[in-house]
Amino acid sequence: MNYTERFRVPSGAVVKLKHIDPSFKNHHEGHKEAAKEIEQYQRKLRELQELLHADGRRSLLLCLQALDAGGKDGTINHILGSMNPQGCEVVGFKQPSAEELAHDFLWRIHHAAPARGVVTIFNRSHYEDVLIARVHNLVPEKIWSRRYDLINAFESDLAAADTHILKFFLYISKEEQLKRFKDRLEDPAKQWKISEADYKERTYWDDYTVAYEDALSRCSTEDAPWFIIPSDHKWFRNLVVARIVVERLESLKMTFPPPTVDIEHIRKEYHSAKKHSH
């Protein structure tokens, strides 16, 4: 199965999340059966990320969006755990600061876009401005409704500068979200993540569903496709995201750049130094 095609939102498609199963896990019985495949793609991720860094002509931007407890942090740990930290960075977008609010909504996003040779992961992203801003009426509809076209133009500009963009919506069921909230309550290592807003936001589930459907439908393009990742099973989510990133990086046909020094001359010096050291 080509995971890129299986989970990609085609350009112009009208997304209806009720037709997608967040507990889908393909042919895998469970994590144990998928573990070797996950490890395989982790190794490939590291190799390809190092090649991207050495090649230095392109960058990779991964945008992660999800409802609360959807697994953004877990996905980031999985991806970064496979890569060399020197060539990666994570940017989290929370409530805008006063300085950020004084500029257009994409100002803080553009500033965080990856440099060539770098993989940047957005934990939440510019899509918050057509999700939470829409659901909670933070700006009038006449403002947020224009932002889809502005986002598409922004991403097209990044793509023209050799930034490859992959956007992942980590889709969980309402029941799975509640289960994860319960796990947080019972695990001291996760209790710090709990906020009263988590439960209040559940009352907006249907509103968020419509907002996500519009964003996924209107902003999945050839330059910057959206992928809807079934995420009730964390291990399957990790496998799918890793595999899609690997498939994209492999498609770039990258090669290591040629050496900038005379290798034969340095090899001779090495052998000479080795000979005189004995």
Measure CA 160 to chain center: 19
Superfamily of domain 3-276: P-loop containing nucleotide triphosphate hydrolases (3.40.50.300)
Residue 195's pLDDT is: 78
Write the burial class of residue 228 (CB in 10 Å: 0-12 exposed, 13-18 middle, 19+ buried). buried
Q: List the pLDDT tens digit at each of the 278 positions of the chain.
A: 688 899 999 999 999 999 999 999 998 888 988 999 999 999 999 999 999 999 999 999 999 999 999 999 999 998 878 898 889 999 999 889 999 999 999 999 999 999 999 999 999 999 999 999 999 999 999 999 999 999 999 999 999 999 999 999 999 999 999 999 998 888 887 878 777 777 889 999 999 999 999 999 999 999 999 999 999 999 999 999 999 999 999 999 998 888 877 777 778 776 777 777 76
Spatial CA neighbour of 71 closest among 173, 204, 164, 199: 173
pLDDT of residue 1: 66
* pLDDT of amino acid 259: 80
Ramachandran angles phi, psi of 132, nearest 5°: -65, -35
Predicted local distance difference test score (pLDDT) of residue 184: 87
- Residue with the two structure tokens 């502005």: 150
Structure confidence at residue 30 (pLDDT): 87
